[in-house]
Amino acid sequence: MRCLSMGEYLKSIKNKTKYIIVTGGVMSGLGKGITTASIGRLLVDMGYKVIPIKIDPYINIDAGTMNPFQHGEVYVLKDGTEVDLDLGHYERFIGVELTGNHNITTGKIYSKVIEKERDGNYLGKTVQIIPHITDEIKLWIRKMAMENNAEICIVEIGGTVGDIESMPFLEAIRQMHNEERDEDFLLIHVTLIPLDLGKEQKTKPTQHSVKELRRIGLQPDIIVGRCANKLKEETKRKISLFCDVPVEGVISAEDAKDIYEVPLMFKDEKLDKYIIKKLKLQERRQSNEWEKMVKKLQNFEKEIKIAIIGKYINVKDSYLSIREALKHAGIATGCKVNILWIESENLEKKDKVKIDADGILVPGGFGQRGTEGKIKAIQYARENNIPFLGICFGFQLAVIEFARHIIGWEDGNSSELAKTEHPVIDLLPEQSKVNRFGGTMRLGDIEVTIKPKTIAHKLYRKEKIYERHRHRYEVNPKFISEFERHGLVFSGYSDNGRRIEIIEYPKNNFFLGTQFHPEFKSRPYSPSPPFIGFVKAALEFSN
């Protein structure tokens, strides 16, 4: 199929897709991702087909190599692309499955333009940021809208207005605004409304942020004011006056008890009706599915405590999807899940481990640091019959713990971590091949076969599932028979049985590990089966 020109794209999607652009000012980390996802949810509840796009101005091609301490969780999409955690919010709120093309980075745009230049597509012209980089950005956005038959395309631009790396993207948006009809384009600006010592809401940072936006030729249609408290009417009027936005277009986004309440807060502010009015859309059916879910979230009768044994716990967003998946399972089982964060390195210093929790979860991670502490936690869970869930690296460490303390291989380990005669976790020969992303990890959706009459089968209620992966090392098939002889059950596999995907220990009430990341496919209205099983077991244990 030939590539369409910019003019052809403009013609093909005219009168079809509406664009909502979300920018941020004053400071990063204000919640643009939650704002974008919440707006998407409101529009989906009205029956519109919404496609989100996240623009990350960093030069990296993707988020795969980023440190969790700096960037939070690396979220994996179904096609294996490693992305920013905001795309996880999009999937959970909007109910869509995204691909790598829904994430635009500076690295991707420049690579594409350089590739075209090398192929002679620019006919000897001097390749410049304007028009070539900006044209590529606009082309990418419009192509995604058209290929997904989007009625509304929401584009979040990462960073803040004024960042040097964001400038080409904001310029592309300015051009798009001029190319689209007014009723097809909406700009939402998220800013900080701080409180002074007297608890007065200060609008000056917002005024300066909007001034910077105007300087590059953009005027917001809606301002979302992030504040600890609900915006006062006088604050809204002041922002309206100085920023040239109608009072009804100034939206309060005060701190919420839970992120899933934000769409309902926006609805109370009549943001959905204002968007419909500005984009000249019809107000369609109103689904109350989200509202029902939030009511369940706000009215729990029971509580449990789950210990997460991690090595990045100083940055809780490193385990964001796991935290949300536990919450989803709590909604399904009618209990509030409280999390006890435990630094795995601290457990290594203790001779005797004691964890006061109703369930123990060991998540993924890379590298030697904190490994022995996680193994101690797994041993404590197994020996005391405390519900246990191991994910990815946690799954692998559960295999190592079993090898050491049940089979008796004291040197049992992963070849990633140490040289040993019993590399129960190893790099399989075929796994050394480079994948399409330029690395050797298994990434994205992979088919998993589940054995009948197992805990995993009871949870999933099917024999074939698709779950997302992000790992390199795997269970060494050389030792499988010895594990099975000692009672460990390998209940899920892939690649015609060569790769182990799920383990369980039937002697315990609930002891399960998955090589894949079930948290990436968990939704508040459709929780992940392993998390439901884990939370149910923890609830029974607490009783």
- Report yes or no: 336 and 304 within 8 Å, Cβ to Cβ: yes
Q: Is 392 a catalytic residue?
A: yes
CA pair distance 236, 224, nearest whole angstrom: 10
Sign of the Cα pseudo-torsion (511, 512, 513, 518, in order): negative
Active-site hit among 153, 335, 392, 401: 392
Q: Is 406 exposed, middle or buried (0-12, 13-18, 19+ CB in 10 A)?
A: middle
Q: Is 208 a catalytic residue?
A: no
Q: Is 517 a catalytic residue?
A: yes
β-sheet bridge partners, residue 290: none
**Long-range Cβ contacts of 271-278 (<8 Å, 24+ apart):** 271/39, 271/42, 271/222, 272/42, 272/43, 272/46, 274/222, 274/248, 274/249, 275/20, 275/39, 275/42, 275/43, 275/186, 275/222, 276/46, 278/183, 278/186, 278/221, 278/222, 278/249
| Strand-pair category, 152-157 with 18-24 | parallel
Tokens of 73: 């969780």
- Report yes or no: 227 and 238 within 8 Å, Cβ to Cβ: no
Tokens of 485: 């002889």
In what order do the strands lie in the sheet containing 442-450?
A: 335-343, 302-310, 359-362, 388-391, 511-514, 499-504, 489-494, 442-450, 464-471
- Report yes or no: 491 and 538 within 8 Å, Cβ to Cβ: no
Q: Which residue has the tokens 């420049």?
A: 110
Tokens of 392: 């990815």
Give catalytic residue positions: 392, 517, 519
